[in-house]
């Protein structure tokens, strides 16, 4: 390596469900793009370097100072005996936000079941999945066919909202000669991207809260996850980049800009600046979508599950007493409390949508997208002293 650039990236050791990975590199070590730098202990996924550089720190992340020279070449994943092993070796996880290791899902034997592609990209502003479909439909279809082959599925449905007309036409052409792949429509509502909604709309089966897709002989994959499956198998490419949408209070932008293949570990402000930079009077940076995103900051690193980088408005000053109404598919109590704190208010009571039921210690929505009126809950919050109510629910 000739020299270092002074630019540091931060590759988190936890980018998936399960415990943080264990690093396989040391401080001071020179590393190449694509090199394995951390391995899971139990459920998880391999992590690889997205750049050439030198390891300068290891804490909850591996901090790498980038080399001046960044060749396109990446180290391919180790040799494997089958496609599932290649997906595992490449560290593919659910790119839609869940971060579940993809090789575990692909191990399901569906015996004539279904692979479902979730293209809902439900939250406002986000559009990188649809952009990928429009630009590289064949990559998605190849990833899907590998997934069908590995799981022995007989049929695949691509679930998409009817308002994505251009993507639907492009997909239609891409599957023209595919006997076992069909397009199915999702309702134009939030949260159509919930797995249980995708199953309800494609297979006509209503899963119980907490029930998994394998109960109906199906697996559900996000668009970018299938892209990464194809790249792992065909190019031996580890997951070292992420597709993201940057939007909100960005100069000159109202609609969100897509960056395909942003190196994992890059600070998000790099992409905020590339998109146009911050507008005057901009507020917090939210990582994720407007409904379910979490507060981040300019140095938050891109991870395998980062979808949106959204710049919010400055919180208005409002020091009233607030009631909180959370939704399983939207903002939860923690996030709503953060917003109230940001405004200078006080939380006096918190309630959940009445459709949220507790399953194995976690609240889940009983019927995602079939949202009830919330009058009773609102009255309860008022009775508890709330002067204003902040809702994470997607319907009023």
Provide the binding-site residues for ligand SF4, judged by CB under 6 A: 191, 327-330, 353, 355-356, 365, 367-369, 371, 393-395
Measure Cα distances from 210 to 1, 17, 165, 193, 197 in Å.
50, 17, 33, 16, 13
Strand order, beta sheet including 294-296: 257-263, 241-248, 308-313, 282-287, 294-296
Strand order, beta sheet including 47-48: 22-23, 36-39, 47-48
Based on CB atoms, which residue is closest to ligand SF4, 21 or 159? 159
Task: Indicate the pairing of strand 53-58 with strand 346-352.
Answer: unpaired
CB of 286 to ligand SF4, least distance (A): 19
Based on CB atoms, which residue is closest to ligand SF4, 233 or 381? 381
Based on CB atoms, which residue is closest to ligand SF4, 228 or 393? 393
Beta-bridge partners for 180: none
Closest CA to 15 of 300, 362, 227: 300
Sign of CA dihedral 111, 228, 264, 334: negative
Based on CB atoms, which residue is closest to ligand SF4, 94 or 330? 330
Based on CB atoms, which residue is closest to ligand SF4, 143 or 368? 368
CB of 373 to ligand SF4, least distance (A): 10
- Cα 66-70-75 angle, rounded to 5 deg: 100
Backbone angles phi, psi at 30, to 5 degrees: -80, 140
Helix (H) or strand (E) holding 102: helix 102-106
Q: Does residue 50 come out as left (phi exceeding 0), alpha (psi in the -120 to 50 range) or beta?
A: alpha
Residue 224 tokens read as 């970018």
CB of 353 to ligand SF4, least distance (A): 3
CB of 15 to ligand SF4, least distance (A): 26
CB of 354 to ligand SF4, least distance (A): 7
Based on CB atoms, which residue is closest to ligand SF4, 225 or 393? 393
CB of 394 to ligand SF4, least distance (A): 5
CB of 24 to ligand SF4, least distance (A): 41
C-alpha 93, offset from chain centre: 10
Torsion of CA 126, 128, 134, 140, to 10 degrees: -120
Based on CB atoms, which residue is closest to ligand SF4, 258 or 324? 324
Based on CB atoms, which residue is closest to ligand SF4, 337 or 393? 393
CB of 391 to ligand SF4, least distance (A): 9
């Amino acid at each position: 390596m000739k020299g270092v650039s002074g630019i540091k990236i931060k590759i988190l050791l936890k980018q998936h469900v399960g415990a943080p990975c264990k690093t396989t590199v040391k401080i001071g070590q020179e590393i190449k793009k694509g090199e394995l730098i951390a391995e899971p202990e139990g459920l998880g996924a391999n992590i690889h370097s997205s750049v050439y550089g030198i390891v300068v720190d290891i804490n909850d992340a591996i901090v790498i100072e980038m080399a001046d020279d960044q060749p396109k070449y990446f180290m391919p994943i180790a040799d494997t005996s089958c496609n599932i092993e290649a997906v595992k070796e490449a560290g593919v996880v659910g790119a839609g936000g869940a971060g579940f290791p993809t090789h575990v899902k692909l191990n399901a034997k569906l015996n004539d079941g279904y692979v479902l592609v979730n293209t809902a990209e439900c939250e406002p502003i986000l559009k990188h999945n649809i952009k990928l479909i429009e630009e590289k439909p064949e990559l998605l279809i190849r990833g899907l066919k590998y997934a069908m082959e590995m799981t022995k599925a007989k049929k695949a449905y691509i679930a998409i909202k009817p308002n994505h007309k251009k993507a639907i036409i492009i997909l239609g052409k891409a599957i023209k000669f595919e006997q076992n792949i069909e397009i199915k429509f999702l309702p134009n509502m939030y949260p159509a991207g919930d797995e249980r909604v995708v199953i309800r709309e494609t297979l006509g089966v209503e899963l119980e809260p907490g029930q998994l897709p394998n109960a109906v002989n199906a697996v559900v994959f996000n668009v970018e996850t299938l892209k990464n499956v194809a790249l792992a198998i065909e190019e031996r490419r580890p997951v070292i980049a992420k597709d993201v949408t940057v939007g909100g209070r960005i100069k000159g932008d109202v609609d969100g800009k897509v960056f395909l293949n942003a190196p994992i570990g890059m600070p998000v402000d790099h992409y905020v600046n590339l998109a146009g930079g911050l507008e005057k009077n901009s507020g917090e940076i939210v990582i994720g979508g407007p409904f379910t995103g979490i507060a981040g900051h300019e140095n938050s690193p891109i991870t395998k599950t980062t979808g949106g980088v959204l710049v919010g408005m400055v919180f208005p000053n409002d020091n009233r007493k607030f009631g909180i109404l959370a939704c399983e598919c939207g903002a939860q109590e923690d996030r709503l409390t953060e917003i109230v704190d940001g405004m200078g208010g006080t939380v006096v009571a918190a309630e959940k949508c009445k459709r949220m039921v507790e399953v194995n210690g976690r609240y889940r929505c009983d019927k995602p997208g079939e949202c009830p009126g919330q009058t009773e809950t609102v009255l309860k919050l008022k009775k508890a002293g709330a002067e204003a109510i902040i809702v994470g629910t997607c319907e009023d």
